[in-house]
Amino acid sequence: MDAALDAMVSNGSIPYVVAALGNSAGPIWSGAAGERASGMAAGGDTIFRIVSMSKAVGATAALILADRGRLNWETPVEEILPEFARLVVIENGVETQLRRPARTKATLRNLATHTSGLAYEFWDGAVGRYLAESGMPSIVSGQRAGLLYPLAFDPGTAWQYGGGADWLGLAVSAIDGRSIDRFCIEEIFEPLGLTSTSFELNATSAALLGDVLARTENGELGSSVLNLDPPASPEFYGMGHALNSTAPDYLRFLRMWLGMGSLDGVRILSEATARDALRNQIGTLRIEPRSTVFAPATSDLDPMPGVELSHSLVAARTERQVPGRRAVGSAFWGGVLNTHFWLDPTADLAGVFMTQVVPFLDGYVMRDLEEFERLSYSLMI
């Protein structure tokens, strides 16, 4: 495993990597290769901008409230956050003036499963044009005005990757009364011992942050001109992108899911709630590939080509066995800077594979991730 990571860095496909494996009983293996910054080796203490890997944490926050009978997944979003009712559908995916009210109401379940109608501009040209024409800030800006994206489709009628997790985090705050950062710290980070996971960087964690590099047209790595850091001191913390973490910390979070809500004797979710959360929650809908409209930040959205994918309340979900890799019912996702995880309850195995490279789903990174996963199953199971 260590030799494989070293080779990934030495052949130039990734600048550095920190990876780890674990099961419900404990960590199994961890390793690192390369320099997170000039002269500074990557390691278990390296801080990563995990961006969209924040979504699974936000979903867990909502599940804690559901477990306590305080959140109903079928509640319309606008009953908790009235401003959601302002969102309209871009009819036929054309310009901003051709809009209509949604024919269905988005629920909290739709927010968690990317079936709410919200769509990121990175894979939806109509949404991107709307933002450009209206002057609306991006949802990753940290500004509340950035929440008011138009809907790309009627809620519940399709799957499209978008900012539902940010609204879900606000719903948790509205129901509970605590800010989403305080809720996550008190209900998730502290009970699970996630000591290096945070919404804001302090001087110590900032000094451990990995550099971000970009894939150039010739396949080499160079400096990134994109700023995809979670904004400091935002108007709201978006659970779609707000967190910084380490590979060991995130593995602890995944091990809680392998333990069906429990980690090292500490339970934050009931087993029934955890098992239900990992089931397919979108019926016959499926995750379909989408072409990028902003290639500097992301490749096409097709994380597992040829594999049937649904979505749980936590993350994307495989609907068939991937030979030599994860089983049916495995959860997985990644962040735009190419931090990745998978969670396989059948094999009792979770893995994290973290670097900081754009574009998202970069072909070199995804090849290395697949190699790491195959090695994990061949050596660890």
Structure tokens at 276: 């239900």
> What is the separation of C-alpha 111 from the centre of its chain, rounded to a whole number of angstroms?
13
33 burial (CB, 10 Å; 0-12 / 13-18 / 19+) is buried
Q: Note if 130 is an active site residue.
A: no
Amino acid (1-letter code) at residue 42: A
Query: Taking CA 194 as the corner, what is the angle to CA 339 and CA 165, rounded to the nearest 5 degrees?
Result: 55
Angle between helices 363-380 and 2-10 (to 10 degrees): 170
Which among 255, 230, 231 has a CA at the least distance from the CA of 336? 230
Given the residues 24, 52, 54, 196, select the one marked as catalytic.
52
Q: Note if 377 is an active site residue.
A: no
DSSP state of 17: E
Given the residues 16, 130, 149, 161, select the one marked as catalytic.
161
**Extended beta strands in the chain, E state:** 16-23, 26-37, 40-41, 48-49, 89-90, 99-100, 213-215, 221-223, 244-245, 262-263, 266-267, 309-311, 316-318, 331-334, 339-344, 349-354, 357-358
57 burial (CB, 10 Å; 0-12 / 13-18 / 19+) is buried
> What is the separation of C-alpha 189 from the centre of its chain, rounded to a whole number of angstroms?
17
The answer to whether 68 and 41 have CB atoms below 8 angstroms apart is no
Q: Note if 55 is an active site residue.
A: yes
Residue with tokens 């991730």: 369
Given the residues 24, 30, 55, 250, select the one marked as catalytic.
55
The answer to whether 153 and 116 have CB atoms below 8 angstroms apart is no
Tell me the catalytic residues: 52, 55, 161
